[in-house]
Amino acid sequence: MRLSDRVNPFTPNPELRIWIDGDLRPSAEACINVFDHGLLYGDGVFEGIRVYGGEIFKEGEHIDRIFESAGAILLEMPLTRDELSAAMHETIEANGVEDGYIRLLVTRGVGALGISIDKASCPSVIIIAATIQLYPPELYDRGLRCMTPGTLRNHPSTTCARVKSLNYLNNVMAKAEAKLAGYDEGIMLNADGYVTEGTGDNVFIVKNGGLFTPPLSCGILAGITRKLVMELALVRGYVSHESLLLRHDVYTADECFLTGTAAEIIPVASLDKRPIGEGRPGPITRQLMADFADYRTRRRD
């Protein structure tokens, strides 16, 4: 059998229309060039963005972050903020997405072989508007069983984790390690032994009525959901502290949860087989999940 004859169970819906550099193309024709440095070197940046009730959630913050990521890797954005916003709206409308997920990518573009950034000077923009389900619904009820994988989070002095780059192998491998070991998710440590984040989500613990989350300086993405959760918690009178956390702090926490655009807020029931608190979603986590659900519904009114 030729490789190209295999049936891929993940073939995208042929009805899906993908925005590439100004054109909306059917998914089967939405291809990138093999000389794109995004493919050759993971050289590019991206965002994962939610659409709730036809509106792009936290659109301004996602656009800010992709511009910041691009700036950090010396990638000149080929569109203005307004053009990017218009392109995302065009894509959700073309695909009739009311509640879904946008994947926005900017690649270094087609270039010559070789990693120099001056070998690719024409960045490409790709927008996919579809749906995403990171975790099955039952995990929101029972909480994730997590482990600390041996794969450490990239050191902040390598490509900083605050750059949401197309090179996600660090996270991919940590997640694979956790799944192979029979866990739902990994909570990664940095080289100093401090807790950083999940493989695609930020992490919070609750202790004595306060929220604690690692600071950006320990090598994490500045999560947009993380920021919103801190604001929602404050409305309830829970102050969030950005502080260095050891695994010990998570083991002995009252509650723990992860936050992210795709996952929203998901409870963590255990870490390395130690139950956290009662070993099920705690009351403050459940309260914040409800507040988050209210918040995103209110945006539509």
Given the rule CB under 6 A, which residues bind ligand PMP? 48, 171, 197, 200-202, 221, 223-226, 259-262
Would you say 214 or 277 has its CB closer to ligand PMP? 214
Closest CA to 145 of 36, 272, 281: 272
Give the whole-angstrom CA distance, residue 210 versus residue 253. 10
Minimum CB–partner distance for residue 64 and ligand PMP (Å): 11
Q: How many other CB atoms sit within 10 Å of the CB of residue 129?
A: 26
Minimum CB–partner distance for residue 154 and ligand PMP (Å): 10
Would you say 123 or 260 has its CB closer to ligand PMP? 260
User: E strand or H helix at 130, and its extent?
Assistant: strand 124-130
Closest CA to 199 of 249, 163, 158, 147: 147
Minimum CB–partner distance for residue 230 and ligand PMP (Å): 11
Minimum CB–partner distance for residue 108 and ligand PMP (Å): 20
Is 164 among the catalytic positions? Answer: yes
Would you say 35 or 67 has its CB closer to ligand PMP? 67
Place of tokens 């965002």: 47
Would you say 17 or 177 has its CB closer to ligand PMP? 177
Identity (one letter) of the amino acid at 26?
A: P
Minimum CB–partner distance for residue 213 and ligand PMP (Å): 11
Q: Looking at 58, 164, 227, 273, which residue is catalytic?
A: 164
CB environment 57-93: b (16+ within 10 A), e (fewer): bbbeebbebbbebbeebebebbbeeeebbebbbbbbe
Residues facing 113 on adjacent strands: none
Tell me if 101 sits within 8 A of 38, measured CB to CB.
Answer: no
Would you say 111 or 223 has its CB closer to ligand PMP? 223
Catalytic residues: 164
